[in-house]
Structure 1
């Protein structure tokens, strides 16, 4: 099942190390089947607040997303970003093909009593 790495990046001044991080990230993703779905896009906020930009990277499954984030290649370039940009980063599994939210609602309703 597809999994995603999601990042909420807070605004920061441009820095040469951030440019280097962006230039070097794709080769760290390739061995794990990772590819960008969203990269640095400004969010159109409809509820709440969201200062900054969004990154979404898709992986074939959660194990490969974890393996990428923990890989020596990614760990080597990660400080190029973290020294200059505050972020929240999460790994989340997607839903299976044919997912029906009504089934989830029924399970939640039954569990709630």
Structure 2
């Protein structure tokens, strides 16, 4: 069953740090079965607080999504995301 990691940017503090994050986050998928489905495209907030951006990555299973998220490569990138912006990150079990 597919799983989806959804990253919702709520507030950006430092664009340069976020550029560094992006440079590390994408390559951290190497060796993992993640497929980006949406990456900071046009966004329209229909309900709730306005989102500043969103990313959706599909994985074959929740375990594989967790394995990437907890990988050393992504955890290294994640530190930059924490420094550069406020996010909500959701792991959703698909149908």
Q: Which TM class, normalised by the smaller chain length? A: 0.7 to 0.9
Q: Which runs of 5+ in 2 are unaligned?
A: none
Match of 2:43 in 1: 43
Give the deviation of 1:39 after TM superposition.
Answer: 1.0
Give the deviation of 1:14 after TM superposition.
Answer: 4.5
Q: Which runs of 5+ in 1 are unaligned?
A: 96-113
Say whether the 8 Å CA contact 1:42–1:52 is kept in structure 2: no
Give the deviation of 1:51 after TM superposition.
Answer: 3.1
- Cα distance change, pair 18–47 in 1 and its aligned pair in 2 (3 A): closer
CA root-mean-square deviation: 1.6
Secondary structure (helix, strand or coil) at the match of 1:66 reads helix
- TM-score computed with the length of structure 1 as normaliser: 0.75
Match of 1:58 in 2: 58
Distance 2:7 2:91 in 1: 9
- Structure with the bigger percentage of strand: 2
- TM-score computed with the length of structure 2 as normaliser: 0.87
Distance 1:31 1:93 in 2: 21
Deviations 1:58-108 (A, max 9, x none): 11111110001111111111111111100110111100xxxxxxxxxxxxx
Q: 4+ residue runs of structure 1 moved beyond 4 angstroms?
A: none
Of the two, which has the highest radius of gyration?
Answer: 1
